[in-house]
Amino acid sequence: MSALEVILRLRPTKSEAVGLYKKDSRTVILKSKSGNQEEYKFERVYDTDDSQQTIYGENVCHLVTKVLDGVNVSVLAYGPTGTGKTYTIEGESVSGKEGIIPRAALELCKKVRHLSDDSLLTISCMEVYNEKIIDLLNNDPKPDLKLFEDAQGLIEVEGLTKLTLNSFDDFRNLFLLAKERRTVGATSLNEKSSRSHAIWRFRVNRKIGTGSDAIDREAKIDLVDLAGSEDNRKTLSTDQRFIESTKINLSLTVLKRVIKSVAAKEKNIPTRESKLTRLLRDAFGGNAHTLLILNVGPEEENLRDSSASLDFSTVAKQVLNSPFEGLSMTTPKKTSRMPLELNRTPTSPFAGRMREFNDSIERHKNKILVMKKENRQKAISLKSNLIKELKATEKENNEKIARGSQEKIPSEPALKILKSSGKYQNVIDYLNVGENLTRLEGVGPKTAQKIRDSRPIKDFAHFVKIFGETRATKAAACFVPE
Ligand SMILES: Nc1ncnc2c1ncn2[C@@H]1O[C@H](COP(=O)(O)OP(=O)(O)OP(=O)(O)O)[C@@H](O)[C@H]1O
Ligand SMILES: [Mg+2]
């Protein structure tokens, strides 16, 4: 087992007022405006002036060697918008500022060239944009590639372009092309904000041994530049940017939930709820060695976002993965993809694995039943709390009227409460992307269609207009985020 490695990188500051400092090589201090200080520990902490080479050399270089040994690897940059994720993963086309991708590609090209003639290095690149998978190396890409599970239970992307890299020059051209094709747009917080999650996948196929004993070994390294979490009040996103931002936030919410569930060793991991988490299944609780780079801005004004990311990373550190050597399908008797420990078991290596799968299916079934029950109970309790709140407000208003108060009494107290509680925002986020709208109380097929036709639902007033007051209140009250 190997724990998820989490490192932190501070972006150069844009303001004098700083609230996040590096204390030592493993610690950052978060200092709030009121003077409270909190320490967070990481595998390693990088300051605002640490170079791209330092980040690569100390964290990724040895992982590239692991891939050649047959171990799957994932490297992800995570953090709020504008904090340096793309800078870290892709970098800039200026000497010394190249990011992890070109550095890893150069090393892979060199190392694979020195291996046997049969070794093969391939590259794929895709983006998940508005929950659609787009091939960035295809000149005539499909609007949305499908995911499927192969015979070995691995998630693959149907028809994704896979190109052989014979030299670093091959890579350089493809890198420029894919970067140009990736969806990027300006927001008030980042002139070149990534509007999609990008996944660069390098695969190495090697033949180990000779003659009839030869086995084919395959491993991949995923280099992932996630889109950043966004607060639309800060980014001032409208229309297209707003839709993108909703989908970005939703897929990041699913990612966080997956990581939390894996960290808590829950039996039901919500991987299937977003394309991103399906694509990155190996990375969290799976068979890859995973490095999570947390990018944050040190400015005081960003403390809320930074603090949320730091808290999240504390959870992520508890994720345990089981990296193992991957053997490809071309040598039938040795095609299993088993943890290393199982690989060494001399007798019946599949029996234990099959039992594990069967047990896990049973556990999942039970968990689903429990979840359904729990969600129902949660909804009932939310609803009764809201009714209590409404009654209290109504009583207060009646008393004010009786006292002859001149204060303006809200005409729709229920909706006012909902608006101020912010609960409706969860519903709006869900309505803008959710397919199974029947999770909301009182939504039949007709209303569901009306909601789909009205997307994107922009704000509270828009939400109430589509739903009607009563149903909007009910929907927000009964909405249970999973
Ligand atoms: N370590 C760094 N050194 C120098 N410049 C940096 C560094 N980190 C980020 N920047 C600069 O900060 C800006 C924002 O960075 P970047 O686009 O990488 O953010 P991001 O996290 O990818 O944002 P988004 O989530 O919106 O895509 C860019 O101009 C980038 O060059
Ligand atoms: Mg970016």
Q: Does residue 249 line the site of ligand 1, with CB under 6 A?
A: no
Check residue 386 and give its pLDDT: 66
Check residue 362 and give its pLDDT: 63
Could you tell me the distance, in angstroms and rounded to a whole number, from the CA of residue 383 to the centre of ligand 2?
39
Angle (CA) 374-252-76 rounded to 5° is 130
Look at residue 479 and tell me whether its pLDDT is greater than 60. no
**pLDDT classification of 466: cutoffs 50, 70, 90:** confident
Ligand closest to 78 (CA) is 1
> Phi and psi (nearest 5°) for 128?
-105, 105
Q: What is the mean pLDDT of residues 150-170?
A: 90
Could you tell me the distance, in angstroms and rounded to a whole number, from the CA of residue 323 to the centre of ligand 2?
28
Q: Report which ligand 1 atom has the smallest distance to the Cα of 194.
A: 27
SS3 label, residue 406: coil
Last residue of a domain, one of 344, 373, 408: 344
Q: Mark whether 268 and 396 lie in a shared domain.
A: no
Q: What is the mean pLDDT of residues 263-272?
A: 93
DSSP secondary structure of 298-340: -BGGGHHHHHHHHHHHHHHTT-EE---B-B-TTSGGG-----H
Q: Does residue 302 line the site of ligand 1, with CB under 6 A?
A: no
Per the prediction, the chain carries an average pLDDT of 82
**pLDDT classification of 427: cutoffs 50, 70, 90:** confident
Cα–Cα dist 417/92, whole Å: 48
Q: Mark whether 259 and 408 lie in a shared domain.
A: no
* Among the ranges given (180-184, 307-311, 401-405), the one the predictor scored with the smallest mean pLDDT: 401-405
HSE-CB of 132 using CA atoms within 13 angstroms: 13
Residue with tokens 């929907």: 475
**Residue 50 burial (C-beta neighbours within 10 Å; 0-12, 13-18, 19+):** middle
SS3 label, residue 96: coil
* Preceding omega of 456 cis (within 30 degrees of 0): yes
Check residue 80 and give its pLDDT: 94
Q: What is the mean pLDDT of residues 325-341?
A: 38
Could you tell me the distance, in angstroms and rounded to a whole number, from the CA of residue 190 to the centre of ligand 1?
8
> Is pLDDT larger for residue 73 or for residue 472?
73
Check residue 356 and give its pLDDT: 60
Could you tell me the distance, in angstroms and rounded to a whole number, from the CA of residue 191 to the centre of ligand 2?
10
Pick from 52, 91, 111: which is nearest to 176 by CA? 91
Closest C-alpha residue for ligand 1 atom 4 = 12
Name residues whose C-beta falls within 8 Å of residue 144's C-beta, 6 or more positions apart in sequence. 132, 133, 134
* Preceding omega of 346 cis (within 30 degrees of 0): no
Q: Report which ligand 1 atom has the smallest distance to the Cα of 52.
A: 1
Q: Report which ligand 1 atom has the smallest distance to the Cα of 83.
A: 21
Q: Mark whether 394 and 288 lie in a shared domain.
A: no
Check residue 340 and give its pLDDT: 31
Check residue 345 and give its pLDDT: 34
On whether residue 349 sits in a domain, the answer given is no
**pLDDT classification of 481: cutoffs 50, 70, 90:** very low
Check residue 118 and give its pLDDT: 80
On whether residue 350 sits in a domain, the answer given is no
What percentage of the chain reaches a pLDDT higher than 90? 52
Check residue 187 and give its pLDDT: 84
On whether residue 352 sits in a domain, the answer given is no
Closest C-alpha residue for ligand 1 atom 8 = 84
Last residue of a domain, one of 344, 376, 407: 344
Q: Does residue 237 line the site of ligand 1, with CB under 6 A?
A: no
Look at residue 460 and tell me whether its pLDDT is greater than 70. yes
Check residue 475 and give its pLDDT: 67
Structure tokens at 472: 């909007």
Q: Does residue 190 line the site of ligand 1, with CB under 6 A?
A: yes
Residue with tokens 């912010």: 422
Look at residue 96 and tell me whether its pLDDT is greater than 80. yes
Look at residue 79 and tell me whether its pLDDT is greater than 90. yes
**Which of 190, 230, 249 has most ligand 1 atoms within 8 Å of CB, for mutation?**
190
Q: Which domain holds residue 369?
A: 359-478
DSSP for residue 222: E
Q: Mark whether 315 and 461 lie in a shared domain.
A: no
**pLDDT classification of 414: cutoffs 50, 70, 90:** low
Q: Mark whether 47 and 138 lie in a shared domain.
A: yes
Q: Mark whether 47 and 103 lie in a shared domain.
A: yes
* Among the ranges given (80-94, 368-382, 391-405), the one the predictor scored with the smallest mean pLDDT: 368-382
Q: Mark whether 259 and 236 lie in a shared domain.
A: yes
Q: Mark whether 315 and 380 lie in a shared domain.
A: no
Last residue of a domain, one of 295, 320, 344: 344
Q: Does residue 280 line the site of ligand 1, with CB under 6 A?
A: no
Structure tokens at 161: 């372009």
Q: Mark whether 274 and 371 lie in a shared domain.
A: no
> Phi and psi (nearest 5°) for 462?
-65, -45
On whether residue 351 sits in a domain, the answer given is no
Give the model confidence (pLDDT) of 383-406 as tens digits.
Answer: 667 667 767 766 777 787 777 766
Q: Mark whether 201 and 331 lie in a shared domain.
A: yes
On whether residue 353 sits in a domain, the answer given is no
Check residue 468 and give its pLDDT: 74
On whether residue 331 sits in a domain, the answer given is yes
* Among the ranges given (172-181, 313-322, 460-469), the one the predictor scored with the smallest mean pLDDT: 460-469
Cα–Cα dist 150/345, whole Å: 25
Q: Report which ligand 1 atom has the smallest distance to the Cα of 81.
A: 25
Q: Does residue 276 line the site of ligand 1, with CB under 6 A?
A: no
Q: Does residue 194 line the site of ligand 1, with CB under 6 A?
A: yes
What percentage of the chain reaches a pLDDT higher than 70? 75
Ligand closest to 188 (CA) is 1
**pLDDT classification of 354: cutoffs 50, 70, 90:** low
> Is pLDDT larger for residue 123 or for residue 238?
123
- Total domains in the fold of the chain: 2
Check residue 465 and give its pLDDT: 80
Look at residue 376 and tell me whether its pLDDT is greater than 80. no
**Residue 51 burial (C-beta neighbours within 10 Å; 0-12, 13-18, 19+):** exposed
* Among the ranges given (169-173, 232-236, 281-285), the one the predictor scored with the smallest mean pLDDT: 232-236
**pLDDT classification of 341: cutoffs 50, 70, 90:** very low
Cα–Cα dist 13/298, whole Å: 6
CB 150 within 8 A of CB 156: yes
Check residue 370 and give its pLDDT: 67
Q: Mark whether 291 and 375 lie in a shared domain.
A: no
Structure tokens at 171: 């890579």
Look at residue 338 and tell me whether its pLDDT is greater than 80. no
On whether residue 354 sits in a domain, the answer given is no
Q: Does residue 196 line the site of ligand 1, with CB under 6 A?
A: no
On whether residue 269 sits in a domain, the answer given is yes
Structure tokens at 418: 């909902």
**pLDDT classification of 329: cutoffs 50, 70, 90:** very low
**pLDDT classification of 482: cutoffs 50, 70, 90:** very low
Q: Mark whether 118 and 180 lie in a shared domain.
A: yes
Q: What is the CATH number of the domain that holds 51?
A: 3.40.850.10
Angle (CA) 224-226-229 rounded to 5° is 165
CB 254 within 8 A of CB 276: yes
**Which of 83, 94, 183 has most ligand 1 atoms within 8 Å of CB, for mutation?**
83
